[in-house]
Amino acid sequence: YRGHVLVIVNVASQCGLTRDNYKELVELDEKYRESKGLRILAFPCNQFGGQEPGSNEEICTFVSKFNAKFDFFDKVDVNGDNAHPLWKFLKDKKGGTLGSAIKWNFTKFIVDKNGQVVERFAPTTSPHKLVSSLEKYW
């Protein structure tokens, strides 16, 4: 992913934030993937309310309903001893409010073209609201 601006996000299929986030992430991907080289990396996670209980295959079937063509990874933990190394790195570089732990589904990070974690956004931040920040790194 070197040379691309990234949005990295933990996702869940059964969250109240799912529909709007997927809709807007797909819109960002469609608008900026080719024109600006944006890459969206989605990591399913079942650590928040058990809202991503499905297998990787079931998750792929679910997200296909949104026509999501960005990169999905296998289900991971984002907190705790078994947290994926990428998520440990992201949290280390950009801590959140009241500590660095991921608080809920759809926490978003922006990583610049040089691999620097430059911004972190709360789960309730709309993907459309990331555009003004993304523009600084294209």
**Residues annotated as catalytic (active site), given as ranges:** 15
- The SS3 call for residue 132 is helix
Tokens of 56: 């990787």
DSSP state of 22: H
Helix (H) or strand (E) holding 110: strand 108-111
First vs last Cα of the chain: how many Å apart?
14
